A and B are shown apart, each in its own frame.
Chain A
């Protein structure tokens, strides 16, 4: 395979080399966080974290652990760069994005460090495409300081149940309101649009509810435009955890299984639009 005939000396120049037999294991998960043009890539020994932010109050992260890659070599403790995400996705899908049986694109991703482009070698059926994507000055991702110790309410749901609700969300509503409570209605999604108010309730006893830990009643509103992209992550996930902290900050965590059945995570953080006091 052409990709593995990279010369030894060239390899030594790269601070990051990541190989995947199936490029879709990266491109599919990146599609789930594509809502802005550029993304920050942070590579550590644990693997790759890709971050996209919007308006300084929404952040989407995709985590691809090191063991998902067939090779993941890092010469420094942490490597950070920023690239245009839509360009990267066009390159990853250069041979077409379809899931034709037997045909998969192999990927070798290499980075020489600050000031160098991100180099991708993609191979399918003996044809090799080389892409050099210019990197940008990385903007440091916001730390929302969301810690497990601050979590007030948490539920874990099977994604199936939320998919229907999210696909029907009234987009004329400026906000999505989330209510979590130890008593009725337990977990409720609400919209306030042109056709009126809509509520989706999920009981704590529902089959779809895998975990229900709500200690206080909280109602928070989030800008619909910021949360709508999370539908892409929901679509490819099998489970989702919804957590809020004392500030009303929302954390959505999606468990995603890739083509090979391996697990990756996507996480969305969103700041509340305004606080609504429960009457």
Chain B
């Protein structure tokens, strides 16, 4: 099992760092799945994370100028690691001015993802800084959980409103209630609603557009507001495409596309 990737382009480094930072805001730990062409950040929707699921997919060639990997066996060209994105994000943020950054799977006192950065210096002698981020190798018998979740058979699919506006509204609603109802129809309408003994607040977004055409029926899901807020807090760049799929009273499936990165986030309905 080997992995070695090198980034020498500064824009690629910035972008990769932003992706890892976004992931770190969404979850404390996740699965990093490496294949010859892709990197995946995966959080399988389990009861232990409150049912929240996440799937983020990157085309390796868009970030790494050099990329070599050898999977667990010669037939299985894949590696699955459990990582904490936060220390990884912190390490990457400190090397933004590096001439090159290498990402390697190493074994120190335990398995590590090592970030080795060549920093610019005034003298001819280069300076290398390494950060070792401990990881856990995930045995193959657990890998079936990390296959791509089928896109649920959704009732409604709608484009999200500007995330900044959504975040402002959700931040305030969180002060008022623990739960929020998200509803949308195929007419491009989306409503965020909270209701408590003290107050009811409904925000109406209109003309959002839908990716497909069908009759006008509202699908809704009641979610834990903190999970929606966590998703919105993580977003650092405006996506080129932002979609919301709703399975009535079941799950909200948020899809963000930005250049070459796709991020999917599943928020289950509260029991």
Mostly helix, strand, loop or mixed at chain B's interface?
mixed
Cβ contacts A102-131/B at 8 Å (1 or 0 each): 000000000000000100000011111111
Interchain CB contact (< 8 A) of B165 among A93, A95, A133 = A95
Q: Which residue of A lies closest to B193 (CB)?
A: A130
22 A-B pairs in the complex with CB atoms less than 8 angstroms apart: A90-B172, A90-B175, A90-B176, A91-B172, A94-B172, A94-B173, A95-B168, A95-B169, A96-B168, A96-B171, A96-B172, A126-B207, A127-B161, A127-B204, A128-B203, A128-B204, A129-B202, A131-B200, A132-B201, A133-B199, A134-B198, A134-B199
Mostly helix, strand, loop or mixed at chain A's interface?
mixed
Query: Residue B205 at the A interface, CB < 8 A?
Result: yes
The interface residues of chain A lying within 8 Å CB-to-CB of B153 are none
Q: Which residue of A lies closest to B205 (CB)?
A: A127
A131-B168 in contact (CB<8A): no
Most chain B CB neighbours (cut-off 10 Å) among A87, A94, A95, A134:
A94
B252 to chain A, nearest CB (A): 19
How many residues of chain A get a CB closer than 8 Å to chain B's CBs?
21
A137 to chain B, nearest CB (A): 14
B165-A127 in contact (CB<8A): yes
Query: Residue B15 at the A interface, CB < 8 A?
Result: no
Assembly CA distance A94 to B171 (angstroms): 8
B203-A127 in contact (CB<8A): yes
The interface residues of chain B lying within 8 Å CB-to-CB of A94 are 168-169, 172-173, 201, 203
Interchain CB contact (< 8 A) of A129 among B161, B204, B207 = B204
Q: Which residues in chain A, 167-195, are within 8 Å of chain B measured between CB atoms?
A: none
Query: Residue A217 at the B interface, CB < 8 A?
Result: no
The 7 closest A-B pairs by CB, nearest first: A96-B168, A129-B203, A131-B201, A133-B199, A132-B200, A94-B172, A90-B175
Assembly CA distance A125 to B166 (angstroms): 12
The interface residues of chain A lying within 8 Å CB-to-CB of B168 are 94-96
Assembly CA distance A131 to B205 (angstroms): 15
Query: Residue A84 at the B interface, CB < 8 A?
Result: yes
B169-A129 in contact (CB<8A): yes
The interface residues of chain B lying within 8 Å CB-to-CB of A133 are 198-199
B201-A129 in contact (CB<8A): yes
Assembly CA distance A134 to B175 (angstroms): 16
B199-A132 in contact (CB<8A): yes
Known A-B contacts A95-B165, A125-B165, A127-B165; A87 and B199 likewise in contact (beta carbons under 8 Å):
yes
Known A-B contacts A125-B165, A127-B161; A91 and B204 likewise in contact (beta carbons under 8 Å):
no
The interface residues of chain A lying within 8 Å CB-to-CB of B165 are 95, 124-125, 127
Most chain A CB neighbours (cut-off 10 Å) among B168, B173, B202, B205:
B168
